[in-house]
């Protein structure tokens, strides 16, 4: 087996990979990496229908997870983490602080973070402004809020923001990435088939384009745990067939990930550590970090479920810190700087 579904908080990760990015070349764009991630990363409460993870945030990061999916609602002036209507006993400020604390201890790493307004049937008018303020106050120069995909050297020690707002550009535009998120599961076989096709598309696709494959799902006749028990072992076996090769699987997003599956994803980056990629002229560089030690992962079997994803949105305008500006889809991407006040 390639991963195991556990009860919430029952066991810590069986693998410890806190520094797996540290030995990779600075010139490597994040779009060239295989990155393990979690769907609805803070969804620990709400019962079988809603719970998507069994490890807390710090345990996920220590196990090698480098993509976090954070869903928020604006309540009484604060961005609180929710899954559907269930409060997950966390705030966005707290999630940012805890993630940055991890990055201070492991400066060779980078964490992708998708920040989404949960259930925006009618988007709260103040959500984008509150999110901008939160990123400004908590980031203090340690967030990547530009639209272009950075190199690993540019991203080390930072949270790379993926935004999904209707009227604000606060990071890499989420809907412009290559995404497979068939969350509404009517057939487990079809769910896995779509995920497998997108994994192969990532392996053979444009290396400059970031690919995100959600191996999670939910549905009227299933739940995240059941989807995970079906999909994660198949994902493990699929990736194991090309073990030892330099394969770009993109961002592989899971519920209840197991140590064996996380290790397979991480290890597919190992050939890049040989230094075969050289930096292009003019590529900004960051200090090299010594490779951290990682405990060997024990193959535990699959991983499980997924949470309900956000609906696709079309952005009509983009926002900088403080004022709006018109934007055409044909205009070259601009950057949005987030600095300390």
**Per-domain residue ranges of the chain:** 30-272
E strands present in the chain: 35-38, 67-75, 78-83, 86-91, 111-117, 143-144, 159-163, 172-173, 178-180, 211-214, 251-254, 317-320, 323-326
Q: Measure the CA–CA gap between 183 and 251, rounded to whole angstroms.
A: 16
CATH 3.30.950.10 at 30-272, yes or no: no
What is the number of helices (H) and of strands (E) in the chain? 7, 13
Cα dihedral 164, 314, 83, 157, rounded to 10, equals -10
Phi-psi region of 115 (alpha: psi -120 to 50; beta: other; left: phi over 0): beta
Q: What is the pLDDT of residues 228-283, one digit of tens each?
A: 999 999 999 999 999 988 899 999 999 999 999 999 999 999 888 765 444 433 33
DSSP for 152-171? HHHHTTSEEEEE--SS---S
N residues, the chain: 341
Q: What predicted TM-score, i.e. pTM, was given to this entire model?
A: 0.79
Q: What are phi and psi of 306, to 5 degrees?
A: -145, 160
Q: Give the residue ranges of DSSP H helices in 51-126.
A: 57-63, 92-105
Higher pLDDT pick, 315 / 179: 179
Q: How confident is the model at residue 335 (pLDDT cuts 50, 70, 90)?
A: very low
Q: How confident is the model at residue 337 (pLDDT cuts 50, 70, 90)?
A: very low
Q: What is the pLDDT of residues 41-68, one digit of tens each?
A: 999 999 999 999 999 999 999 999 999 9
pLDDT, the chain, mean: 81
Q: Measure the CA–CA gap between 22 and 288, rounded to whole angstroms.
A: 8
């Amino acid at each position: 087996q390639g991963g195991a579904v556990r009860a919430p908080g029952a066991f810590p990760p069986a693998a410890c990979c806190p520094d797996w990015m540290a030995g990779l070349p600075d010139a490597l764009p994040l779009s060239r990496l295989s990155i393990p991630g979690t769907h609805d990363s803070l969804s620990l409460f709400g019962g079988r229908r809603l719970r998507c993870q069994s490890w807390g945030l710090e345990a996920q990061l220590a196990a090698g997870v480098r993509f976090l999916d954070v869903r928020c609602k604006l309540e009484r002036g604060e961005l609180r983490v929710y899954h559907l209507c269930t409060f997950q006993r966390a705030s966005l400020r707290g999630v940012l602080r805890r993630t940055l604390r991890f990055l201070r201890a492991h400066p060779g790493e980078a964490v992708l973070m998708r920040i989404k307004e949960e259930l925006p049937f009618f988007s709260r008018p103040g959500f984008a402004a509150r999110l901008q303020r939160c990123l400004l106050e908590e980031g203090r120069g340690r967030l990547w809020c530009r639209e272009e995909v950075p190199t690993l050297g540019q991203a080390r020690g930072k949270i790379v923001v993926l935004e999904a707002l209707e009227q604000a550009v606060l990071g890499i535009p989420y809907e412009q990435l290559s995404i497979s998120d068939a969350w509404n599961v009517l057939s487990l076989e079809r769910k896995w088939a779509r995920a497998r096709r997108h994994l192969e598309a990532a392996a053979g696709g444009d290396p400059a384009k970031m690919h995100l494959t959600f191996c999670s799902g939910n549905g009227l006749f299933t739940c995240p745990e059941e989807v995970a028990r079906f999909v994660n072992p198949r994902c493990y076996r699929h990736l194991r067939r090309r073990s030892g090769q330099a394969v770009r699987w993109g961002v592989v997003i899971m519920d209840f990930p197991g140590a064996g599956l996380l290790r397979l994803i991480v290890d597919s980056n190992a050939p890049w550590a040989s230094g075969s990629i050289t930096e292009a002229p003019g590529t900004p560089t960051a200090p090299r970090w010594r490779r951290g030690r990682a405990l060997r992962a024990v193959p535990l079997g699959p991983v499980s479920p997924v949470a309900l994803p956000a609906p696709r949105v079309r952005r009509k305008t983009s926002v900088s810190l403080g004022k709006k500006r018109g934007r055409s889809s044909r205009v070259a991407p601009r950057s949005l700087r987030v600095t300390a006040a």
